A and B are shown apart, each in its own frame.
Chain A
Amino acid sequence: MKRNNRLIINLFALVVVLLFGFISILAVTDGRSGLTMFSADLQHRVSYAFLLKSVSHPERASNATVEPGGRDYEDGAANVVTSVVVDYRMLDTFGEVLVLFAAAAGVGLLMTERKRVVEHDASIVVKTAVPLVMLFAIITGAYIVLHGHLTPGGGFPGGAIIASGFILQFLAFRESPKRLIFKILESLAGLGILAVGLVGLFVKGSLFANFIATGTLGATISAGTVLIIYLLIGIKVAAELASISGDFIGGEQRIGG
């Protein structure tokens, strides 16, 4: 009996899914008048003003020009995706930082003790190689975080790469590192981001407003608070992902060998 009621559920789900797919494709290719999926080309999207960095005066966007080396644009990041993530739509990113914060807290709260049987230690090769690889991981990650406003990448991938350095250390060296350092780092970096936001609120009149001159487009130190916020996000994401992974890998109980 068990076998075919699984089959019925599968078939029913298949029908539901195909129906949903059919209806959506039908809706999207509908011929009637009105805006459809491809109606808004780049000129008619908000990103037009993001690309031309003329959000504070969108009516002059059509004759705005932006070039590397230009000074004091309203947003100094050469990488427009970073300027959207960290400057134009910063509240999303602040919310998203809190999502990771909640996830780290949830994992910390829920993770159960680990009963791990340890047969043998990591070989000498691993033990000597890991610190080296860790160093490269952290340097690469730091590079990606610090150049977030110029090249693709930024706080999130950079932080993840730095965290992968720490994860290597958890895996190779048995004793679990003191994780309080990650908790405090995470909390401070989060407070740092909120502080930058509040300074923007009280100095420039609205939360996360850029209160530092945005310098020349494309320079290493440019884009004002965008660089600072992405740095803090990088630290926070690195600390959080390291502590989440540390919770999953769990401490070592030397039961075996």
Chain B
Amino acid sequence: MVTATFLLSAFSLILVGIFGMLTRKNIIRILLAVNILETGVNLLLVSFGYFRGGKAPIITAPISASNLPFVDPLPQALVLTSIVIGLGTTALALAITLRYYRRRRTLEFEPDEEDFASVEGARTLMRDSDDSTSVTEGKDLHPGSNVPSDREPAGAKERAK
């Protein structure tokens, strides 16, 4: 019964995580949902390794084939790795989000593809810094001007039609 509860709670965390990822618009909330999904999967893995009445797999007393009162150590090893991978991915995603915000001035994720397409495409490559690390070592692209790029080359939009 206990294992079933672990499994069910882990599985419902996964479902809530997936639901959050599919429906939220704010990027930080989507990343929170990704972490909830990840916590759910980690719990699911650990509960796959759980045996009722088992002890932590640390050898403090003599054990033999007949007397192995342990839970399974392997899923714990997998989850150990998965947690740290989750941290790495979240840190990277948030760094990208900061850069996204620096440019788009919003945390809402659904960029209006078409509108941006005409601007992005029409802009000549020379003006646009193809790789921000080369132009300004991480500095703000247009120092001082806080004008989001969408409004800037209005002329380009007409020419692109």
Measured CB to CB, the residues of A under 8 A from B are: 9-10, 13-14, 16-18, 20-21, 24-25, 37, 41-42, 45-48, 50-52, 61-68, 78-81, 83-85, 89, 92-93, 96, 99-100, 102-103, 106-107, 109-113, 150-152, 154, 156, 217-218, 237, 241, 244, 247-248
Contacts and interface: CB of A to CB of B under 8 A. Distances in A.
Interface stretch (B91-99, B121-129, B147-155): B91-99
B74 A46 contact: yes
Interface string B85-126: 101110110111011001000000000000000000000000
18 contacts: A14-B19, A17-B19, A25-B11, A47-B57, A47-B74, A52-B65, A65-B65, A66-B62, A67-B63, A68-B60, A78-B60, A80-B70, A99-B84, A99-B85, A102-B88, A103-B87, A107-B95, A111-B138
- Majority SS at the chain A contact face: helix
A218 B61 CA distance: 10
Contact of A81 (B18, B62, B77, B96): B77
Pick the 8 closest A-B CB pairs, nearest first.
Answer: A103-B88, A67-B62, A13-B22, A80-B57, A84-B77, A65-B64, A110-B95, A80-B73
Given A112-B98, A113-B138, A80 B22 contact: no
B74 A103 contact: no
A47 B140 CA distance: 53
A247 B72 contact: no
Contacts of B12: 21
B80 A156 contact: yes
Contacts of B135: none
Contact of B89 (A13, A67, A93, A103): A103
B72 A106 contact: no
Contacts of B76: 81, 84
A88 to B, nearest CB: 8
B139 interface: yes
Interface in B29-85: 48-49, 51, 56-65, 68, 70, 72-74, 76-78, 80-81, 83-85
Contacts of A154: 80
B23 interface: yes
A80 B59 contact: yes
A227 B64 CA distance: 25
A34 B51 CA distance: 21
Given A45-B72, A68-B60, A61 B65 contact: yes
A47 B78 CA distance: 12
B51 A51 contact: no
A50 B74 CA distance: 9
A162 B70 CA distance: 30
Among B70, B84, B96, the most chain A Cβ lie within 10 Å of the Cβ of B84
B99 A112 contact: yes
B33 to A, nearest CB: 11
Contact of A96 (B48, B72, B84, B138): B84
Contacts of B59: 66-68, 78-80, 217-218
Nearest to B70: A51
B15 A51 contact: no
A36 to B, nearest CB: 12
Contacts of B73: 47, 50-51, 80-81, 83-84
A177 to B, nearest CB: 18
A42 B15 contact: no
A113 B140 contact: yes
Interface string B1-28: 0000000000110010011001100000
A42 B18 contact: no
A21 B99 CA distance: 35
Nearest to B136: A113
A41 B71 CA distance: 10
